[in-house]
Structure 1
Amino acid sequence: MTRFPLFLLTLFLAVLTSCEHHEEKEHDEDPALDDDIRYEVIQVGASRPTRELNLPGELESYYETDLLPRVSSYVKALHVDIGDKVVKGQVLAELEAPELTANLTEAFSKVKAAEAVYETSKATYQRVLRASRTLGAISPVDLDGGRTKAISDSLGVVAAQAHYASVQQLVSYLQITAPFTGVITDRRLSPGAFVGPGGQNTIPILKIKQLDRLRLRVAVPEAYLGDIHPGSPVQFSVRSFPDRTFTGHINRISNAVRPETRSELIEIDIANQKEVLKPGMYASARLPVSQTQEGSLYVPKSALVNTMDRSYVIRMENGKARRVTVQKGDDVIGEVQVFGELKAGDLILKTASEEIPDGAALNVQPAGK
């Protein structure tokens, strides 16, 4: 009888010792990365001082909008399709709403009825007014009553006309017109579709973009903001025409530095009368700068991690990985220009990845060894 509890006690102590040993082993191991992996690091290099800044950007329409219905209705007819050029005021689509047409007829009839009532009360008041010139023929109370009735009926005409104008405005919404000259870039619906509140109101009937005037948005690094001035010419190129150079001028500066990229947004207006350039094209803008104190920083393309919200490199600080947000500049063979809280000589991972957590302890070695 005494041996059985002793056996259980011995088994419990053995299990407890094994758990403690396992916990100590887990505590000693790095939970994120394998100690056997060694990551290659390189030094950030600086090129010669730059006098021309190459920055990426994307062409956008100066005006672009989705055309949505303002009233509940059905699509009666579409007069344009994708790729059609339109002018301002052109009728693009027709909608139908029988209840609105009926309301317009009703409102018009109420205007005519109110006008008839007013004409009657006005004529009555005028007769009473003429009769009141004969002493004792009309009492002052009847004269005031006739005048009040005529004024009230005149206000009824004004109210009926205002109601008719509001319904008429709603009926005018049954025609979708072009708000500016441009081209139709998308058509989502077809005749017979119900649009407006309660229907497919979140889907635009048409999408229109302006082509003869574009804008190019470029994010300029903080270090070069002193060289950016409104009206300065900017040359840029697009991949579709690698042998051509286009010119625009800086028209707007945001005057606010984005903290996540340490850059300021500028807009360049571009005349595009021949419509050679298209919205959405990737552009490489060349901005003349006068900075000569220090060179630009370049890193291998493999060292740059691009996510949905930012781009960054992984810098080694006291044996730990630190993500440093950067902005991309000019691309060269195998390397990319970066701007951010980096300096020449910083050690960064030659091949970075999103799977390396910020603050992770890494075993590193110089690249090529």
Structure 2
Amino acid sequence: MTHSKPRTTASAPRSRSRLAILAVSGLCVAAALTAGIFPRWHSFGALQLRAKSAEIPVVSVVSPRNAAAVRDITLPADVQAYDDAAIHARVNGYLRRWYADIGTSVKAGQLLAEIDAPEVSDQLRQARADEATAAANYQLASTTAKRWQDLQATNSVAQQETDQKVADMHAKAALLAAARSNTSRLAQLASYMQIRAPFDGVITARNVDTGALIDAGSAPSQDRELFHISAGTRLRVYAQVPQDVSAATVPGTRAWLTLPQAPGQRYPATVTRTAGAINSITRSLRVELDVDSQDGRILPGTYAQVHLEVGSAHAGLDLPANTLMFPASGPAVAVVDAENKLTIRQVALGRDFGSHVEVLSGVQENDRVVVNPGDGIVSGMPVRVAAPAKGDAA
């Protein structure tokens, strides 16, 4: 007993040291578990919240705006002279002389060229001689018939002979009329030896020179035209209007022209007439506009662009084209209601503005319409609106 007491006293501090080490180790393990598990649980919870949030699609919306009552339609156009003519010869011969060159301004009836055709002149002289002969024969037959009528009144000659003289007078009168008609025809033909301007205008082409052989006619087998003349003070502009706006394009519609060689310049024009029928091939309406040449700044044959101001009596609402859906039932849009749920609405479309369209019915100005709706959206689906977007101007 006396020797065991020191052992007990020495082992007590060792036990306490082991307990302290175990306690510290347990605290370290607990701290490690706390630092590793709790953040994982927190991250897992946040992940679940994000997953639930991702189940609700995010959409962008736009509000409809009033569509423009009048819009500008730009169309390619062809500018032509109000009066335009190719001048051909009516007699055969040689060109004696020309008096008007390309670019010359001429007046109606002004002499442009002369053709030397002696055969026509000789035929005219012969016709006039034949007319004089017929006139002399008629004069003799008329005098003879008058005498025989006077003699028949006194029963000095037979009625048969008197009738023959009167008939001969009428025959000579018919021959005189035929001779005069032939003379007039040849005189008119001789007048074609002088080429004259049919109206006021500008010579745009001269295709003959002095001494050139001239063949009468304008058939493709004949020679080309002698001159070409255009009246350039007033111009015609032709354009093809698409069928969807043809009903709004009527005589009196305001328009203007723009030219490639004059950027920024606008030349006023007016629709004066339409074809009155849609072309079955192009599905367009041919319209004609009148425009002033602006002192020669607009030339015949110019390519231009016509800007038509086409109005609508009942303008609808304007929406971007990327808000439309096209299910089997027809055009539709997706609208977000006050509870942020989708509603699919059928719409009636009006004018097509390109990137925007006119909606005649189905939406209101205060509706929130989904932009770029996906294929998987259905009515009643909850959504989250990302941010309000303003519709572009029509």
Pairs within 5 Å for 1:243-258: 243-258=264-279
- Does structure 1 retain, via aligned residues, the 8 Å contact 2:89–2:217? no
The answer to whether the 8 A contact 1:255-1:264 is kept is yes
**Under a length normalisation based on structure 1, what TM-score does the superposition of the two structures give?**
0.62
Q: Secondary structure at the match of 1:62?
A: strand
Correspondence 1:228 to 2:240: no
Aligned to 2:90: 70
Amino acid at match of 1:116: A
Q: Is the Cα contact below 8 Å between 1:69 and 1:201 reproduced in 2? A: no
Is the counterpart of residue 266 in structure 1 residue 287 in structure 2?
Answer: yes
What aligned pairs does 1:305-316 form with structure 2 within 5 A after superposition?
A: none
Bigger radius of gyration: 2
The DSSP-based 3-state class of the residue aligned with 1:132 is helix
CA distance 1:245–1:132, change in 2 (3 Å): same
Q: 1:141 and 2:157 equivalent?
A: no
Q: What residue in structure 1 maps to residue 181 of structure 2?
A: 162
Matched ranges for 1:59-208 at <5 A:
59-135=79-155, 137-197=156-216, 201-208=222-229
Question: Pairwise CA RMSD of aligned residues?
Answer: 2.8
Superposed CA offset, 1:4-46 (max 9, x none): xxxxxxxxxxxxxxxxxxxxxxxxxxxxxxxxxxxxxxxxxxx
279 and 130 in structure 1: CA distance in 2 versus 1, 3 angstrom threshold: same
Q: CA deviation at 1:217?
A: 1.1
Structure-2 separation of matches of 1:89 and 1:106: 28
Shift of the alpha carbon at 1:240?
A: 2.4
**Residue-by-residue CA offset, 1:219-263 (whole Å, 9 max, x unaligned):** 112222232121111012112222321101101112333344332
Asked if 1:278 is matched to 2:299, the reply is yes
Q: Is there any run of 5+ residues in structure 1 with no aligned partner, and where?
A: 1-47, 298-329, 331-335, 338-344, 346-369
Alpha-carbon distance in 2 for matches of 1:193, 1:61: 29
* Corresponding letter in the other structure for 2:102: I
Aligned residue in 2 for 1:307 = none
167-176 vs 181-190, which deviates more?
167-176
Contact 1:195 1:201 in 2 (8 A): no
Contact 2:90 2:217 in 1 (8 A): no
1:314-361: per-residue Cα shift (whole Å, max 9, x none)? Answer: xxxxxxxxxxxxxxxx9xxxxx99xxxxxxx9xxxxxxxxxxxxxxxx
Q: Which amino acid in 1 is paired with 2:101?
A: D
1:60-95 CA distances to partner (integer Å, 9 max, x unpaired)? 111111101122222121110100001112121111
CA distance in 1 between counterparts of 2:165 and 2:311 reads: 85
Corresponding residue number in structure 2 for 1:289: 310
- TM-score normalised by L of structure 2: 0.59
8 Å contact from structure 2 (residues 259, 304) kept in 1: yes
For the residue of structure 2 that corresponds to 1:160, the secondary structure is helix
Distance 1:294 1:179 in 2: 54
Identity %: 28
- Which residue number corresponds to residue 303 of structure 1? none
Q: Residue 130 of structure 2 aligns to a residue in which SS?
A: helix
CA shift, 1:196, in A, is 1.9
Shift of 1:198: 9.2
Is the contact made by 2:253 and 2:309 (CA closer than 8 Å) also made in structure 1? no
**Count of paired positions:** 253
- Mapped contact 2:73–2:309 kept (Cα < 8 A): yes
Distance 1:98 1:202, change over 3 A: same
Seen in structure 2, the aligned counterparts of structure 1 residues 75 and 211 have a Cα distance that, compared at 3 Å, is same
Partner of 2:77: 57
The 1:106–1:233 alpha-carbon spacing in structure 2 relative to 1, beyond 3 Å, is same
Indicate conservation of the 8 Å contact 1:77/1:191, yes or no. Answer: yes
Structure 1 segment 8-23 matched on structure 2, within 5 A: none
Measured after TM superposition, the shift of residue 152 of structure 1 is 1.4
SS in 2 for 1:210: strand
Instruction: Give the partner amino acid of 1:183.
Output: V
Tell me whether 249-258 or 125-134 shows the greater mean CA deviation. 125-134
Question: Greater shift after overlay, 272-281 or 198-207?
Answer: 198-207
Cα 1:113–1:286 shift into 2, 3 Å: same
